[in-house]
Amino acid sequence: MTALVASRSLLVRRVIALVRAGGVVIMAGGVLGGCAATSDPAEWLPRGGGDPAAFDALSDVQRDQLALVATNLVSALVQLPETSPANVTLQVSRANSAFGNTILRALEDAGYGLQRVDADQGSHYVAYRQRFAETEAGPVTDYELLVGEVRLQREYVLDETRVFPSSLLTLEGSSAVPAEIVLDDAVFREQGGEAMGSAFISGVRSEGGGPASVREVAVNDFDEQPANRRTAPAEILESARRRRALSDAERGDAALDPTAYERTRRTVLILDDAATRTLGAGNKQAVRLLARDTREGDVFIVTACTDADGRDEASRGRGARVVEEFLGHGLTAEAVRLAPCIRASFRHASDDSPVPVEIVQYRRRLAVQP
């Protein structure tokens, strides 16, 4: 633990020194969302109503820095079992600060249902803090997001044009394993680095000083992307939400006991191509009808991967999208499961023809009367 603290202090010094020298810093656990500059603060106002005046004193760059931080924290929140967007509704109060507005907008973009309250009411009430501190290594800004008993906290260093993490993300009040949380920090590289390159560590540590999830990310000057080509925060949040949905769907056993369940319906959705994440009106209607005709104990098995053995990320993404659609209609994660890849056909990597996703509905058999 002492070594971790000492290492963290050294990293903060290196981060601040590089920022001042014009270098880049990355604390990575995966891929965070870089923001393209925007001239319209409405891009970061909550759709449910925000405070435009909170952004009056900020430049476009400062708004984008806050958006980056908010996206970073919310993308981690989405992946926690206690705060999955499919299972919880968050209670929020009106935001009066720029950071608060960006947090609420990020929560909306992450797919959370938000309930407006006048005070700190509800088991999933959202609170947030932004603090400025002078440390032995230099000035840092500490950002904190709290949802009920869950707390996420991370320090960042900001300069005139960029923002970089300067600490591990601290997680409290969750049963999540640090190694299973992807911080989506790697797009900090899109801000550019030093000509000779540099590398920085980041990750997640949980309460109690348990083992931290730490990795290293290299940053170079050629990593810099034009503002209009940087990863959108919405992509980061969707990726995080997809990981949560996949984690829930793949946790259940897709092999049901045939003596306890009977197959009642098979439905095949046709998606436009192998890369799409769009279901379309017809497929969404089909899922809505299936969800409506569901009894307690029913289980849906979603098979999206039929052309390879092992892991196929594109297929998993399609399967996750179908699972999300079911969860959006109120089904639990236990009722919708994602089947592993099976070799039923072969599909060339360049094939862009429509692809099927199979949904089989199983129902518990009625107990045999003596």
pLDDT at 250: 67
Same domain, 84 and 113: yes
H-only helix segments in the chain: 2-21, 60-78, 98-109, 233-251, 281-292, 313-328
Same domain, 205 and 307: no
Backbone angles phi, psi at 145, to 5 degrees: -125, 125
- Which residues, including other chains, have CB under 8 Å from residue 226's CB and lie 6 or more apart? none
Instruction: For residue 257, tell me if it sits in a domain.
Output: yes
Q: Using an 8 Å Cβ cutoff, are 64 and 228 in contact?
A: no
Tokens of 4: 């971790």
Q: Given 244, 273, 308, which residue is the final one in a domain?
A: 244
pLDDT at 4: 46
Instruction: For residue 369, tell me if it sits in a domain.
Output: no
Backbone angles phi, psi at 53, to 5 degrees: -65, -20
Same domain, 213 and 303: no
3-state secondary structure 225-287: CCHHHCCCHHHHHHHHHHHHHHHHHHHCCCCCCCCCEEEEEEEEEEECCCCCCCCCHHHHHHH
Measure CA 164 to chain center: 19
Same domain, 342 and 206: no
Q: Using an 8 Å Cβ cutoff, are 312 and 341 in contact?
A: yes
Prediction pTM value:
0.70
The boundaries of the domain holding residue 307 are: 252-364
Q: Given 210, 244, 278, which residue is the final one in a domain?
A: 244
Same domain, 237 and 274: no
Domain CATH code at residue 299: 3.30.1330.60
DSSP conformational letter for 350:
T
At which residue do the structure tokens 């993404």 appear? 317
Same domain, 224 and 318: no
**3-state SS, residue 47:** coil
Backbone angles phi, psi at 355, to 5 degrees: -125, 145
Q: Given 244, 269, 300, which residue is the final one in a domain?
A: 244
| Closest listed residue to residue 114, CA positions, set 85, 148, 147, 90 | 90
Instruction: For residue 214, tell me if it sits in a domain.
Output: yes
Same domain, 87 and 64: yes
Same domain, 7 and 156: yes
CB atoms within 10 A of CB 304: 25
Same domain, 205 and 260: no
CB atoms within 10 A of CB 307: 19
pLDDT at 7: 46
pLDDT at 232: 87
Q: How many domains does the chain have?
A: 2
Instruction: For residue 370, tell me if it sits in a domain.
Output: no
Instruction: Give the up-direction half-sphere exposure of residue 341: CA atoms within 13 A in the CB hemisphere.
Output: 16
Same domain, 233 and 257: no
pLDDT at 35: 45
**3-state SS, residue 309:** coil
Pairing of strands 355-364, 261-271: antiparallel
Instruction: For residue 230, tell me if it sits in a domain.
Output: yes
* Cα-based distances in Å from 214 to 65, 189, 240: 23, 17, 18
Give, for all 370 residues of the chain, the pLDDT tens digit. Answer: 444 444 444 444 445 444 444 443 333 333 334 444 445 667 778 887 888 888 888 888 888 889 889 999 999 999 998 998 878 999 999 998 999 999 999 999 998 999 999 888 889 999 999 999 887 767 889 999 999 999 999 998 887 777 888 888 999 999 888 888 888 887 777 877 765 566 667 889 987 656 677 888 777 778 788 888 888 888 889 888 877 777 766 665 556 787 889 999 999 999 876 666 678 889 999 999 999 999 989 999 998 876 655 556 677 778 888 888 888 788 887 888 888 776 666 666 666 667 789 999 999 987 644 4
Same domain, 152 and 73: yes
| Closest listed residue to residue 223, CA positions, set 171, 186, 172 | 186
Instruction: For residue 184, tell me if it sits in a domain.
Output: yes
Q: Using an 8 Å Cβ cutoff, are 92 and 104 in contact?
A: yes
Distance CA 46, CA 354 (A): 36
Instruction: For residue 25, tell me if it sits in a domain.
Output: yes
Instruction: For residue 287, tell me if it sits in a domain.
Output: yes
* Cα-based distances in Å from 42 to 27, 49, 75, 90, 279: 29, 10, 21, 22, 28
Same domain, 162 and 259: no
